[in-house]
A and B are shown apart, each in its own frame.
Chain A
Amino acid sequence: MKTLSDKKFSGKWLRRALAAGIFALVVLVVVMMENNILFARNRYIYVLLCYIGIYSIATSGLDVLFGYAGQISFGHAGFFCIGAYGSVLLSHSEWGVAKLGITPLPPILSIPLMGLVAALIGALLSKPASKLVFHFLSLLTIAFNQIMYLVVANFPGLTNGFIGITRVPPVKLQLFGATLLDFTAVKSKYSYVFLVMAVLAALLILKQNIVRSKLGRSMIAIRENQTAANGCGVNIMRAKTVSFAISAFYVGIAGGLLAHMVGFISPDTFVQNTSVIFITMLLFGGSGNMTGPILGALVITFVQESFQSLQDYRMLIYGTFLLAVILYQPAGLVGLGRSISGMFGGKGGANRGAA
Chain B
Amino acid sequence: MALLDVKDLSIEFSGLKAVQHLDFSVEKGEIFGLIGPNGAGKTTVFNMVSGFFKPSGGQIFLNGMRIDGKFMFEINKLGIARTYQNINLFNNISVMDNMLIGQHCRIPYGTFASFFHTRKYRDCERATREKARETLGFVGIPEREDDQAKALSYGEQRLLEIARALVSDPCLLLLDEPAAGMNPTEKDNLARLVLEIRKRGVTVLCVEHDMKFVMGITDRICVLNYGQRIALGTPGEMQRHPAVVEAYLGGGE
Contacts and interface: CB of A to CB of B under 8 A. Distances in A.
A221 interface: yes
Given A231-B72, A232-B168, A213 B92 contact: no
Which of A218, A230, A236 counts the most B-chain CB atoms under 10 A from its CB? A230
Contacts of B52: 227, 230-231
Majority SS at the chain A contact face:
helix
A216 B76 CA distance: 19
Given A227-B84, A227-B88, A233 B105 contact: yes
A352 interface: yes
B84 A228 contact: yes
Interface residues of A, number: 29
Interface in B188-240: none
A225 B113 contact: no
B94 interface: yes
Contacts, number: 101
Interface of B: 50, 52, 71-73, 76-77, 81-82, 84, 88-94, 97, 100-102, 104-107, 109, 111, 113-117, 121, 125, 146, 148, 164, 168
Contact of A231 (B88, B100, B114, B117): B88
Contact of B117 (A209, A228, A229): A209
A221 B125 CA distance: 17
Nearest to A355: B92
A43 interface: no
Given A228-B84, A233-B77, A233-B104, A220 B93 contact: yes
A233 B114 contact: no
Contact of B89 (A212, A217, A228): A228
B73 A235 contact: yes
A210 B110 CA distance: 11
Given A214-B109, A224-B93, A233-B105, 4 more contacts: A213-B125, A218-B101, A231-B82, A231-B84
B192 to A, nearest CB: 24
A154 to B, nearest CB: 37
10 tightest A-B CB contacts, nearest first: A353-B92, A233-B105, A213-B114, A224-B90, A233-B76, A215-B114, A228-B88, A230-B72, A233-B104, A221-B101
Contacts of B76: 230-233
Contacts of A227: 52, 84, 88
B115 A206 contact: yes
Contacts of B111: 215, 242
